[in-house]
Amino acid sequence: MPQYVFKMKKGELEIEFSSDDADFVEQQLEKWREEILKKHVQQD
């Protein structure tokens, strides 16, 4: 089974997410990416 690992780090806080559910990882990353893009658009 493939394993997917994703790490986020901001300051001293670090989140590592790993899973073998490819769809879930994809959805989750897509959701976070859209949120980050929205935030940047609002700031600009």
Partner 1 sequence: MYYNIKIKCDGCEFSLDSCNKEIVECEMDKYFATMFGASEEFKSQIKDVEIVNSDIKSIEDFKKMEAGQPEENKISESSSVNDAQVDFDINENVNTNPKIEDEVIEDKVQNIEEDNQKEALINEQADNGITESYCEPSEFVPAVETPYCPLEYSTFDFENEEKKVQNDEVIDALFALNKSSIAPLQDTENLNRKDEFEKINLDDDSSLQKNIDNDVKSFDVSEKTEVSLEDDIVLPEVNQPENNESCNVSSSTPLYPKITISNEQISQNNGGIDDLIAKVEQEINAIDISDSNEFNKVLLDNSNASKKTDFVVEEELVLGDDDIIDVSSDLDNKIKDEVIDNNELLLSESKEENQDLINEPTQMADNEEIIAQPQEETETKEITEEDNVNLTIDNQESENINQAKLDDIFSDDIKQVDENQADENQNENTTNILDELTNPVPSYEEYLEQLNGIIKKNNLLNNKKDKQPLKSDFKSENTDFKTYLANFKYSNLIDEFLICSYYIKNILKQNSFSMKTINSNLYASSGEIADLSVVNELINLGCIKTVEVEEKKQYTITPYGETYFISKFQS
Tell me which of 2, 10, 30, 44 binds partner 1, using CB under 8 A. Answer: 10
Tell whether residue 8 is a contact of partner 1 (CB under 8 A): yes
Reading the block at residue 26, the tokens are 């994809």
Interacting residues of 4 by C-beta distance below 8 A, sequence separation 6+: 18, 19, 20, 21, 22, 25
∠ Cα 14 2 34 (to 5°): 50
Tell whether residue 33 is a contact of partner 1 (CB under 8 A): no
Tell whether residue 26 is a contact of partner 1 (CB under 8 A): no
Positions that interact with partner 1 (CB under 8 A): 8, 10, 12-21, 24, 28, 31-32, 35-36, 38-39, 42
